[in-house]
Amino acid sequence: MASVSANFVCSRTSVRLPNQLWQMITSKSLRLATVGWGRTPGFPRLSSSRFQISCAAKKETVDKVCEIVRKQLALPADKEITPQTTFTDLGADSLDTVEIVMGLEEEFDITVQEDNQDNISCIQEAADLIEQLVANKS
């Protein structure tokens, strides 16, 4: 079993990863998906629906969520937003949170249920929930 980054495709034959590349893969916090070498017919599947090691949501989703949060809360451009920032950290109250969720619903064309809504406290969780709902919908 080998870990590959989202942008990097290994052929089925055994390839020794150059040291540099290996460091790049392990040092950055990229989305990693484990790939079974022997199963698929020569082409490793990069879907993250099986194992999710580190962050489960795609980077684009997290970025879009950050964008919407930023716009909603009118944050200055230099304010740092990481996936772990909670909404209360950014000065949002519960009304703001509902508005943010509404914005997300509109952007991703999903419907968030009441009980799911209460669990969302940080950006990562929002992105995960969005991914899950989008996957369920399709």
Residues that bind other proteins (CB under 8 A): 93-95, 98-99, 102, 106, 114, 117
Least spacing, CB of residue 97 vs other proteins, in Å: 9
Q: Is 9 exposed, middle or buried (0-12, 13-18, 19+ CB in 10 A)?
A: exposed
Q: Which is nearer to other proteins, 58 or 70 (CB)?
A: 70
Q: Which is nearer to other proteins, 27 or 113 (CB)?
A: 113
Tokens of 100: 């943010």
* Residue of 37, 49, 48 whose CA lies nearest to 13: 37
CB of 37 to other proteins, least distance (A): 47
Residue 121 near residue 87 (C-beta atoms within 8 A)? yes
Our CB check for other proteins shows the closer of 57 and 104 to be 104
